[in-house]
């Protein structure tokens, strides 16, 4: 890596629990307890969009999916796992089954 990179990612109303940086595109995403996922453009460190899933709960883990191309997988404090398209903010799939927070998840 050449040069110094200065910018801010992870702006949340509450704690930022996870940050995922894309290996394929200049995008970083942050997930917080405030139930928001922020999508940032790393070319100029600007906020592209915010995805909010419900009013309650938050996100504990975030990563880029190997199975769902260019999509994020986010585990929540509500026990759900969401597959999210960070380009549109659309939730493509919600996997339910737990009754309490999911603190960690294996990448898929």
What is the spatial distance between Cα 102 and Cα 89, in angstroms, rounded to a whole number? Answer: 21
pLDDT value at residue 11: 75
52-72 tens-digit pLDDT: 877 677 899 999 999 988 899
pTM of the shown model: 0.83
Q: What is the pLDDT along the chain (108 residues), one digit of tens a residue?
A: 455 556 666 677 888 899 999 988 899 999 999 889 999 999 988 899 998 877 677 899 999 999 988 899 999 998 999 999 998 989 999 998 888 888 888 876
**Architecture of the domain defined by 16-95:** Beta Barrel (2.40)
Q: Residue ranges of the domains in the chain?
A: 16-95
Contacts of 3 (CB under 8 A, 6+ apart): none
Token pair recorded at residue 62? 């975030």
């Amino acid at each position: 890596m050449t040069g110094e990179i200065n910018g801010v990612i992870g702006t949340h109303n509450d704690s930022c629990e996870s940050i995922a940086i894309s290996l394929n595109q200049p995008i970083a995403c942050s997930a917080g307890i405030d139930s928001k996922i922020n999508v940032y453009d790393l070319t100029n460190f600007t906020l592209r969009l915010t995805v909010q899933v419900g009013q309650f709960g938050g996100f504990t883990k975030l990563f880029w999916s190997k199975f769902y191309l260019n999509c994020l997988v986010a585990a929540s404090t509500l026990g759900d796992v969401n597959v999210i398209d960070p380009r549109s903010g659309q939730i493509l799939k919600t996997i339910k089954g737990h009754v309490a927070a999911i603190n960690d998840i294996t990448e898929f």
